[in-house]
Every structure is written in structure tokens, then in C-alpha cells.
Amino acid sequence: MSTEEKDPTNEQPSAENEEKAPFESRTDLSGVEKLVESIRTEIGKIIVGQHRMVDLLIAALLADGHVLIEGVPGVAKTLTTKLLAQTISADFSRIQFTPDLMPADVIGTSVFNPKTTDFEFKEGPIFSNLVLIDEINRSPAKTQAALFEVMEERQITVDGKTYFMEPPFMVIATQNPIEHEGTYRLPEAQLDRFLFRIDVPYPSLDEEVKILSGSYSRKNKLDISALDKVISAEEIAKQRNVAASVHVEPELMKYIAQIIQNTRNSSSVSIGASPRASVFVMKAAQAWAAMNGRDFITPEDVKEVINPVLRHRITLTPEKEMEGMKPDQVIQIILEKVEVPR
């Protein structure tokens, strides 16, 4: 064979062939995929539709964040949370917030034990893995303030002693946006501790028909204990580490930071998002990418999570509120003005 002849066995793959090569993940995402499908399947046995809410709850679970669910009564906010808890082999507690609820009713209190002649700490219902706070805006600020430390630092300090939460620890709170009698507005410091605020819409006509059909077939009875516990606390911790290892390019970090910066400079916003929002957007985008089988985030992942991360973190100007604009609309306007990295 002459030196000018080419040996087909030694040919290097062309750039075109390289582009067509199948994508191989550098991180094993099979565990995340199993977690997502298992939870979706179990919740889907009872809940019709609301796929966006379910996926955001799973993303928050993977991103180790808390969730505020807002919607009119009867759209399965509380039920979905209870179903999620039923699929996890971990402790679950529910706290019904009321105007007379005290901080000690949430975090616990020291009680005198006459046998030991000493005070003993009795844990409150916040000491659990998955905590549902129903109607969080029904309690005054002093009770809501009891959640500040535990939601941010996963610990409680009582009488100078610190008690740590067992992982996984996740707070899911609900509130009704249309009823204001006997409610208290959540302070900004409290809102900022939630990774997502999920707005739950009404079901479509077809979905509502399926809801009626399902209720009829169950003879109007609902047994959530029929759901299987498909995920362990150890598995959640493992898949959280996987989600946290999803790659983020420097250009994507700058993209996220620019969006957050623009919320502070927008003429439509009086109070912009904090640096915590930047971190939460990145964590949520990592979880979303992992859920979709990728070990790197894309601008589309950021766009998928940006609204639920920011809608409770920006305050519109009075003029924009009077015009009837919503935070989601302003966020989209800000998003369109930021150059998407290639």
C-alpha cells in the first residue's frame, strides 16, 4: 500500500459523525429517573393532571428546598403533599396554622420533669422529615418567625441548646390567595426561604371529568394508604448529591446572575431578588436537568424554574400593580432582555 493510500480502518471519525454520536451522561442519572417515575406513578393513581405541580415538588425534593403552594380551595394542594409523603419511607407531620397557634406549638417546649427535677425538651411537630403546614398565612408573625431558623439552617435553638433536623427535611406550606379574612401576610424574610412558590390552576374540562370518574369508581372514598412507599430517606440523600453534581458552565452562571441583577434594575420592580435567589435558580435548574436525563444545565432549564423561584421574591411597583400586572409577566419581560448563552 502506498503512503498516499488511506487505510479505512485507521480513519478518524469526522466532526459530522461526532455530532451524531449518542449523548452519554458523565453522571449516572438512573437513580434520579427511577425516583421521578416512581413518585409520578404513585401520585398519579389518585391525582388527575397537575403534572407541573408534581414535577416542581420532585425538583424541590432533589434540590433540598421548601415549597409554598398557592391556589384556591379544592385544587388538591394538601392532598398532593400527603400523597408525596405517602410515597417516601420517612416521617411526616401536618401542622394546621391557626390565629392562636404559638411558636412552642410548632417547635416544642421545655417541660419540668419532677422525677429528674430537671427540664426536658419535648419536640414539636416540626421535628419530622416532611412537614405540611396548612394555611400558613392563618398564624401571626410571631408563629411564622418560629420557622425562620429551621427552614434556613435545619435546626432549632431552645433555651440555648441546638437541636438538628434529621435529613431529609422539607417544609411544604399551603395558602389560599383569595381569602383575606383572618389571615396574615407572610413577611419577605419568610417567603425568601421557600425555593418555589407554585401557583396551582384549575383543572381542564377533560381532567375534571376524570376526577369525577375516579371518585365515582372509588365510591367517593379516598384511601391514600393504598399508595406504596417507593423511596427511602437514604435514596433521597443519594439522589440529591447526584443532582448537586450536575455541571453548570460559567456562562450559565453569568446568565442566571444577569437575570437576578435585572430584577433589581427594572422600572417595574420596587424590590428585586436577593443573591439567595441566584443560588436557588441554579439548584433548581440542576434538579430539573437531572430529572430530564442530563448531567448539565441549559438555558431552557433556567427558564423552566425561573418563575416559581422568583415570583414570590420580587415586589412590583404600585403603578404596575394598579395596571394589573403579575410578577410572572414582569419576570418574562426581564428574561427576554437577557442574552441567552450559546
pTM of structure: 0.86
CA distance from start to end of the chain? 45
pLDDT on residue 332: 94
pLDDT on residue 277: 95
Amino acid at site 303: K
Least confident of 13-22, 91-100, 261-270, 287-296: 13-22
CA-CA distance, 328 to 145, in Å (whole number)?
Answer: 27
CA-CA distance, 178 to 32, in Å (whole number)?
Answer: 36
Burial class (CB in 10 A: 0-12, 13-18, 19+), 224: middle
CA-CA distance, 276 to 132, in Å (whole number)?
Answer: 23
Cα 23 to Cα 18, 19, 26, 295: the distances in Å are 10, 9, 9, 11
State the pairing for strand pair 161-164/155-158.
antiparallel
DSSP state of 201: P
Asked whether the predicted pLDDT for residue 298 surpasses 50, the reply is: yes
CA-CA distance, 97 to 78, in Å (whole number)?
Answer: 13
β-sheet bridge partners, residue 166:
none
Please give the distance of CA 94 from its chain centroid, rounded to a whole number.
Answer: 18
CA-CA distance, 341 to 258, in Å (whole number)?
Answer: 11
Q: Mean pLDDT score of the chain, rounded to an integer?
A: 87
Length of the chain: 342
Asked whether the predicted pLDDT for residue 216 surpasses 80, the reply is: yes
Which of 65, 62, 60, 66 is closest to 33 using CA atoms? 62
Q: What is the mean pLDDT of residues 246-265?
A: 95
Q: What is the mean pLDDT of residues 120-138?
A: 91
Phi–psi pair at 291, nearest 5 degrees: -65, -25
pLDDT on residue 8: 45
Cβ count near 299 (within 10 Å): 18
The fraction of the chain above a pLDDT of 70, given in percent, is 91
Asked whether the predicted pLDDT for residue 48 surpasses 90, the reply is: no
Q: In this structure, what C-alpha cell is assigned to residue 7? A: 487505510
pLDDT on residue 206: 92
Asked whether the predicted pLDDT for residue 84 surpasses 50, the reply is: yes
CA-CA distance, 122 to 225, in Å (whole number)?
Answer: 28
CA-CA distance, 267 to 246, in Å (whole number)?
Answer: 34
Phi–psi pair at 263, nearest 5 degrees: -70, -25
Q: Are 103 and 146 in contact (CB under 8 A)?
A: yes
Asked whether the predicted pLDDT for residue 28 surpasses 90, the reply is: no
Q: What is the mean pLDDT of residues 98-110?
A: 90
